[in-house]
Structure 1
Amino acid sequence: MRERNVISIIIIIMTLIFVSACSHQTSLEQKTADSDIITINNKLFKGTNFENLEIPSNYNMKKFKGITLNFIVENNINANILSHESETFSRLTGINIKIRAMDYDTLIQKVNLDLLSQAGEYQIIYVDPYQTLNRFYTHLEILNPYINNFDTPNIKGFPEDFFSTQILVDSYFKDKENIYTIPFDSTTMILYYRKDIFNKYKDDFFEDKGYNWRPDSEDFTWEKYSEVARWIDNNIPDEEVKYGSGQMAQKHNSIFCEFSNILSAYGGDYFSDENINTLGLDNFSVINTLDSDFIQALDIYKEVVKASSPESINWNWTDTANAFRNGEIAMMVNWDENSTYIENEQSKVRGKVGYAILPSGDERSANIYGGSGIGINKYISKKEKEAAWLYIIWATSKNMQLKILKHPEGGSMPIRKSAYKGDNEIREYLNEPNAEEKKNISYKHIKAVLKAWEKENIYLRPKLKNFYQVEKILVSNLHEMVEKDIDSKIISGKIFKELNEIK
Structure 2
Amino acid sequence: MRTRTPALTRRQMLRAGGLSLAALGGLTACGATNATAPVPGLAPGADPWRRFAGTTINFISENTAPTAAIAANLQPFKDLTGINVNIVTLALPALVQRVALDLAGGQSQYDVVYADPYQVLAPYAAGLSDLREFAADDSYPPLEGGFEDFIPTQLQAAGMFGDSDAIHALPYDCPTMIWQYRKDIFEKHHDSMRTDLGFDPTPSAERTWEEYFRIAKWINDNVDEVPYGTGHQAKQHDSLMCDFSNVLWSYGGDYFADGAAVGLRGSEDPGECLLTSPESVAAAEFYRRLVSIAHPGSLGWDWDGVGNALAAGEIAMAPNWHEFAATNEEALPGLVGYAPLPRGPVGTANHYGGTGIGISAMSSGARRGAAWLFVNWATSTATQLSNLRSSAGGGTPTRQSVYAMPEVQAATTRPTEMPNMLTEEAVSIAWAEGKIGLRPKIPMWNECDTALFTELSRMLAGQKTAREAMEDATSRIDGIVARGWVA
User: Would you say 1:322 and 2:330 are equivalent positions?
Assistant: no
Q: Deviations over 1:203-228 (max 9, x none)?
A: 22223222211223x43111121221
Measured against aligned partners, the alpha-carbon deviations of 1:12-35 in whole angstroms (never above 9, x if no partner) come to xxxxxxxxxxxxxxxxxxxxxxxx
What is the match of residue 94 of structure 1?
82
Give 1:424's aligned amino acid. Answer: P
TM-score by length of 1: 0.83
Q: Which amino acid aligns with 1:229?
A: A
For 1:199, the aligned partner's letter is E
1:458 paired with 2:444, answer no
Q: Deviations over 1:454-488 (max 9, x none)?
A: 11311111111111221121111111111225211
**Which amino acid in the other structure matches residue 359 of structure 1?**
P
Identical columns (%): 35
Counterpart of 1:148? 136
**Candidates 89, 108, 115, aligned match of 2:96:** 108
Q: Tell me which residue corresponds to 1:475.
A: 453
| Alignment map for 1:304-319 (pairs within 5 Å) | 304-319=290-305
**Structure 2 gap segments, 5+ residues each:** 1-41, 483-487
Contact 2:48 2:141 (C-alpha < 8 Å) held by counterparts: no
Alignment partner, residue 4 of structure 1: none
Structure 2 residue 210 is the aligned partner of structure 1 residue 232:
no
**Pairwise CA distance, 1:408:** 4.2
- Cα–Cα, structure 1 residues 492 and 60, in superposed 2: closer, same or farther, change >3 Å? closer
Q: Which residue of 1 aligns with 2:123?
A: 135
Match of 1:426 in 2: 408
Contact 1:127 1:181 in 2 (8 A): yes
Structure 2 length-normalised TM? 0.86
Which of 337, 344, 351 is residue 323 of structure 2 equivalent to?
A: 337
Is it true that 1:496 corresponds to 2:484 in the alignment?
no
Shift in Å, 1:197: 0.6
Instruction: Please show how residues 79-478 of structure 1 align to structure 2 within 5 Å.
Output: 79-216=67-204, 218-237=205-224, 240-273=225-258, 275-344=261-330, 347=331, 349-408=332-391, 410=393, 412-421=395-404, 423-428=405-410, 435=413, 440-478=418-456
CA distance in 1, matches of 2:61, 2:195: 50
> Residue in 2 aligned with 1:51?
none
Shift of the alpha carbon at 1:427? 3.4
**Does structure 1 residue 64 correspond to structure 2 residue 49?**
no
Cα drift, residue 399 of structure 1: 1.5
Letter paired with 1:225 = Y
Instruction: Give the Å deviation of 1:231.
Output: 1.5
The structure showing larger relative contact order (alpha-carbon pairs under 8 Å, at least 6 residues apart) is 2
Secondary structure of 2:123's partner? helix
Q: How many residues align?
A: 440
Change (3 A) 1:60 1:485: same
Q: Which amino acid is 2:354 matched to?
A: G
**How many angstroms does 1:407 deviate by?**
2.9
Shift of 1:410: 5.0
SS of the equivalent of 1:184 reads strand
Q: Find the residue that maps to 1:258 and give its secondary structure.
A: helix
Which residue does 1:44 correspond to in 2? Answer: none
**Distance across 2 between alignment mates of 1:499 and 1:442:** 36
Q: Deviations over 1:103-129 (max 9, x none)?
A: 333323322332233332221111001
Residues 250/380 of structure 1: CA separation in 2 closer, same or farther (3 Å cut): same
CA distance in 2, matches of 1:234, 1:113: 53
1:201 and 1:263 mapped to 2: Cα distance? 30
Say if 2:112 and 2:357, in contact at 8 Å, map to a contact too.
yes
Counterpart secondary structure, 1:70: strand
Instruction: Tell me, yes or no, if the aligned pair for 2:67 and 2:393 is still in contact at 8 Å.
Output: no
User: Contact 1:188 / 1:371 at 8 angstroms: preserved in 2?
Assistant: yes
The one-character-per-residue Cα deviations of 1:337-394 (angstroms, maximum 9, x if unpaired) are 11101112xx1x2210000001110111100111111111122222101001001111
| Alpha carbons 2:230, 2:318 under 8 Å: kept | yes
Deviation at 1:412, TM superposition (A): 2.1
Q: Distance in 1 between matches of 2:68 and 2:393?
A: 9
For 1:180 and 1:412, locate their aligned partners in 2 and report how far apart those are by CA, in whole Å: 21
Measure, in 2, the Cα distance between the counterparts of 1:60 and 1:149: 11
Equivalent residue number for residue 31 of structure 2:
none
Alpha-carbon distance in structure 1 between the residues aligned to 2:45 and 2:212: 57
SS of 2:149's equivalent? Answer: coil
Supply the distance in 2 between the matched residues of 1:438 and 1:145 (Cα, whole angstroms): 39
Whole-angstrom distance in 2 between the partners of 1:236 and 1:117:
58
SS in 1 for 2:114: strand
Flag the 1:236–1:376 CA change in 2: closer, same or farther, 3 A.
Answer: same
* Cα gap change, 1:61 to 1:489, in 2 (>3 Å): closer
Structure 1 Cα separation of the partners of residues 419 and 435 of structure 2:
24
CA distance in 2 between partners of 1:381 and 1:405 (Å): 32
State the alpha-carbon separation in 1 of the partners of residues 392 and 345 from structure 2.
37
The aligned amino acid for 2:256 is F
Residues 399 and 172 (structure 1), Cα distance of their counterparts in 2 relative to 1, 3 Å cut:
same
Quick one: distance in 2 between partners of 1:485 and 1:245?
23
Contact (CA 8 Å) 2:157, 2:264: kept in 1 or not? yes
RMSD, matched Cα: 2.1
Rounded Cα–Cα distance in structure 2 between residues aligned with 1:168 and 1:162? 10
Pick closer, same or farther for the CA change 1:438–1:124 going to 2, 3 Å. closer
Question: One-letter code of the match for 1:243?
Answer: Y
Change (3 A) 1:230 1:64: same
Change (3 A) 1:428 1:396: same
Deviation at 1:60, TM superposition (A): 4.7
SS of alignment partner, residue 230 of structure 1: helix
How far residue 308 of structure 1 moved from its aligned partner, in angstroms, is 0.7
In structure 1, how many angstroms separate the alpha carbons of the residues matched to 2:162 and 2:434?
23
Moved runs in structure 1, 4+ residues, more than 4 A?
A: 408-411, 436-440
Determine the C-alpha separation between the residues in 1 that align with 2:342 and 2:276: 24
